[in-house]
Structure formats: C-alpha cells, structure tokens
Structure 1
Amino acid sequence: MTNREKVQLMKRSANGYCDTLAWPTILLVAVVFLSYFLTPVAVVAGLLPVSVGVLLMAFFTYAAYTGLHEAVHGAVCGGQQKHRWVNEWVGYLAAIPSGIPLCAHRHEHFSHHNHTNKVGEDPDLICADMTTNPWRLVASPMLLTAQQFQLFLRERWPSAHKELRRTFILETSAILLSRVLLLIALFGPVAASAGISTFSVSVDVLFTLVVGPLIGQVVLVYLFAYVVHRPHTVAGKFVDTSIFELPRALRSAGTWLWGFQNYHGIHHAFPRVPWYRYRAVFEAHRDELFEQGMPTYQLSGLKWRRVN
C-alpha cells in the first residue's frame, strides 16, 4: 500500500467520527453563552465571590472558543448539510463571548490552516513569541483578536457579497451591544437590588469582564495556538502540529480540561472531526500517525518528552 493510500484510508476512517450532529458542542455553547453573562450578575449581586467569578470567566472564555472553532470548520453539523444552519448559529452564539465574529475568524483561521508555520503567511505566528516576556504573554491574545478584524476588513471585505458584509456587521454589533446591555444591567438594577456602590460594581466589572476573560484568552492562545505548533518552523501536513499525551491517571480529566486540544495534531490532519473525538482518532491510528511523523510528546516528571 502506498503512503497516499494509507493517508486516504485514515481520512475515510476519520470521516466516520464526524457523521452526526455534534450535540456535546451544542450543549457546551448553550451553557457557556448563558454562564458568561450570568456570572458577572452573580458576582455583583453578591452570590459569588469575585475570585470565583474571575476563574469562571476565564474558563468560559476558553470554552466559548471551542464552539467558535468547531463552527468555523463545519464540525457541528459534520457531513449533514441539512443542519448547516445549526452549525452557523452555534458559531454566532459562541462568537459573542469570544469577542470574534464567526465570519471574520473563518477567514483568518483558514489562512492559518492553509499556511501553518509559514512565515509571512500564517497569521497565528503573531503569538509565536508570546513566552519571551510578560508583556508578550498578555499582548499576544489581544493582538490576535484585533488581527481577526483587520484581516477580514483588508482581505475579505472588498470582494465580499452583501450577505457576508451584513453578517459581519450584525455579529460585531451583537458582540458590542451584548456587553453594553450587560454593563447597563450591572450598574443599574443588579447593583440597586444588591445595595452596593458604583465603585464596588466597577471593581467587580473590572475583574469579571476584563481580568477573567483576559486570563482565559492567555491560556487559550498558549494551549490552543502556541504550544501545539512549537517550534513554529515546521510546515507540512501531519508534522506541523503536535500531540501532548498526558499520563494515564490524568489522561481523561486533563484532556477534557484542555478541551482535547492536546490532540490538536488530529484537528490539523482531519479538521472536520469534532473536538471530543480527537483522542479516539489518535488512539485508533497511533501507528499510522507515527509513521507520518506526527510530533507526539508524553509527560515524564515535569517535562514533555518527545516519543515520535
């Protein structure tokens, strides 16, 4: 069997993992969307400590991107085009807490997939130096978010049809308006019912709507974009994205907390496979993927040791 035939066989097998509606993704986005806006309300109302609110907002920010990312690749509806509208609405909802319009991210992210680790072509290389100093660690996710809008407006908008332009405007408006309405509610009826001062509300808002999401974005970019593509110099299918396999005792819990992105190499090899099935595909085709050269690391002590 030729190498091309082996790859095609793996691809057909992977397609079998994405032939149904991705209900876990739909449920995830529904919970995260509601929780993202209810958590600041709970903090201002005194139902949650600020520290808990910050951690929850960081987690919801990380989790929301999973839904946005899945929708970009059509992984919510899989091969069922009759459910394409579900895929798009999952993306629209996930885009609001993520702060990035689905249509803009789709343009940027496809460029990343088509040119992974290629200098001057892969837009995600903007975060390749995020660990060089604390400023870059914090700035990278903000720059990456801003880049979504810049690339879309510069490269896609001029030739975009009216429907796409309208979608971008509506998505951007929803992202901004939802936050304005939330602030009005927090400083108005929520603060009044809790009987707290404007200063106290401002502190709660700062931590839950700025600090928490920023922490989530830093963790997101580090785990989702930075570490899985190190050293950011290798290009080519199967070799430009890594697998990080946790010890057996921690594998299930750790993989869920990572959002299955420790198996990000599977995503780049088979983009339509839903996130919660990355591990299953890797385990089913471990030998074949090793043969293709997919970089794989296992945690040994406190260090990642490359095993392939």
Structure 2
Amino acid sequence: MVQTAKSRPERSGPDFATLALLVAMYALLFGNFALHAWRPLPLALHVLVAAAAIHLAFTVWHEAVHRNVSSRPWVNSAVGILGMFPYMTPYFMQRWIHLQHHARLNERDDPNSIYVDGPFWKIFLRYPRALGYAGRLLARDPRTPAQRIADLLGVAAVVAIFAGAWLGGALVDLLLLWLLPVALAKIAMDWYINYLPHVGLPAHRYKGTRVVDVAWLTPLVLGHNYHAIHHLWPKLPWHRYREVFRERLDMLRENGVPIEHRVFERRFPARELSAHTPLSG
C-alpha cells in the first residue's frame, strides 16, 4: 500500500536535509566573515552571501517549530535556537507566534495578517504592528520559564556580539555583514512565505494558502512555493512539498486549493479578513 502524505508516520529519525542546511548556513556565515577579514571581496558580494546564508535559516527554524527535525523535543529546540539566532530573534517567542498563524490562518487575529492587508511595497509601514503583537504576547507570555531564559540568553548573546564589535572597532563590519543581510533576507522571506502564499485569500483550511507551481522558483525558495502543502500537512518536511503536491494534486483541486503558475502577477489584498470563518477539516 502506498502511503499518502496524511498517512505517513511522524518522523522517528533526524532530518538530515534540515541539519545539512543548518551546517551550510553557519559555514557560509563564518566563512564570509573570515574571507572579509583576510582577503575581502567586493562588499556587495559579501552582503549577498550573508543574505543567502540567512535565507537558509528560515527553513531551519521553521522545521524545528513543527518538530520535523527529530522525534526528540530537545533536538528540535536546539536546532530552532541555532536556526533563529542569525535573525536576532527569540526562538520560543517566534515559535508561539508562528503556531498562532497556523491556528488562525487569515483571520483578523492571525499575527501574519500585517503582511497581506496592503501592498507588499508598503510592508515596512506595517512592521510596527508586528512589534505590537510581540508586546501583547509578552504581556501574557505563554513560554515556560526555561524557554524564557533561553530567549533571554539569545538576546543577550546578540547584544554582547554587537558590544564586542563596537569595542573592537568592527561595528560597521558587523552592521554590513550581519544586520543588513538580515534585513534583506527578512524582506525576501516576507514575500515568499508571508505575502505570496496568502494575500487575497480567505480564512479557510484549503482555500487560504496558494501553491505557486513554477519550476525555477522551487530551488530558490527551497520548495516553499508549495506552501499550501505545508499548511495542510505541517509534519511534512520541506524537501517533500513538491513530491506530495504531485501525489495529491487531484485532492487539492477537489478542495479548491489555489494553484497558480505565474510568480509575478497582480494579487489584491483581501478587503476583509473574516474573524469568524472556522478552519474546516
């Protein structure tokens, strides 16, 4: 019997593809810093390499959030913390926010609604709302004491690195080789994960996330153009999205999953996101 994406058991061993991304990410980051220190290339190239490395970080921490790296919780937490660190963001806080996005997909209180309720080029104007959501989250803090300590240590490590760079006269280098690439990677991630899959779609299990089935986009965004597959089967690893899309295409069409074949077309933000439409299924 051929198992479908729905019937496959949860992971029992480590996901070596995600672990390889984690290693590649840090190899690129540290290698880029070392090369810049000893034999610098044009600055723009260093910035792009660092941005590419941090681009890999999203998939690493995202898999950890959904416990797809290992059956051992501590491994997922460790990989998530390491994967999130280049973003300078507390992992356990972001994990909770991301899981709220899954629970409240495209509803008014979906934390990711800020990315889709206006034109993408105005997204910078909506970023303060994300900080406001994080502030409200901290007010009722759902994290365990250990998770709060881990997040605090992560923030302290980032502050210590920047303080050390300032004292050592390398602050400008750190801003150019870390902070600027984070901003570039964040903009890219917001486009292919938060905006492209959800803009203009309703609060619905099947109709709330689109697939953009474009071959050249798949390797660039590590398969996240099949984001509807992730929302339907969060326990499926990122490197199997396209395979399962092909396998379950008829079912996806029957349930009205939006499937598109062009990347650059005009997509309109929904005028109203329903706060009451339940997630079916």
Q: Are the counterparts in 2 of residues 237 and 269 from structure 1 also a CA contact under 8 Å?
A: yes
Q: Does 1:72 align with 2:72?
A: no
Q: Give ranges in structure 2 of 5+ residues lacking alignment.
A: 268-281
Residues 207 and 161 of structure 1: is their aligned pair in 2 closer, same or farther, counting only changes over 3 Å? closer
Aligned to 1:12: 6
Matching residue within 135, 138, 146 for 1:153: 138
Return the letter of the residue paired with 1:287: D
| Equivalent-residue separation in structure 1 for 2:33 and 2:193 (angstroms) | 25
The Cα of 1:296 is off from its aligned counterpart by 0.6
Q: Secondary structure at the match of 2:204?
A: coil
Aligned residue number for residue 14 of structure 2: 21
- Alpha-carbon distance between aligned partners in 1 of 2:128 and 2:83, rounded to the nearest angstrom: 18
Instruction: Determine which structure has more spread, i.e. the larger CA radius of gyration.
Output: 1
Partners of 1:184 and 1:238 lie apart in 2 by 52
Match of 1:96 among 72, 85, 90: 85
Question: What's the CA shift string for 1:61-117, capped at 9, x where partnerless?
Answer: 22111111111110111xx3xx33221111110111022222101111111111011
| SS class of match (1:236) | coil
The aligned residue for residue 276 of structure 1 is 239
CA distance 1:206–1:156, shift in 2 (3 Å):
closer
Equivalent position SS for 2:6: helix
Instruction: Supply the AA of the counterpart residue of 1:212.
Output: P
The one-character-per-residue Cα deviations of 1:139-192 (angstroms, maximum 9, x if unpaired) are 556764x357424412325xx44223222222322333344445556x36xxxx
Uncovered stretches (5+) of structure 1, i.e. residues with no partner: 1-8, 189-200
Q: 1:67 to 1:183 in 2, by over 3 A?
A: farther
TM-score, normalised to structure 2's length?
A: 0.83
AA in 2 matched with 1:125:
S
> What corresponds to 1:293 in structure 2?
256
The 3 A distance-change label for structure 1 pair 229 and 18 is farther
**TM-score, normalised on structure 1?**
0.76
Q: Following the alignment from structure 2 to structure 1, what is the Cα–Cα distance between the partners of residues 234 and 211?
A: 15
Within 5 A, what are the aligned runs for 1:58-137? 58-77=51-70, 80=71, 83-119=72-108, 121-129=109-117, 131=119, 133=121, 136-137=122-123
Q: How many equivalent pairs are there?
A: 265
Q: 2-side partners of 1:147 and 1:34: how far apart?
A: 34
% identity of equivalent residues: 25
Amino acid at match of 2:235: R
- Asked whether 1:234 is paired with 2:217, we answer no
What letter corresponds to residue 99 of structure 1 in structure 2? M
| d(CA) in 2 for partners of 1:209, 1:130 | 28
Q: Which residue in 1 is equivalent to 2:274?
A: none
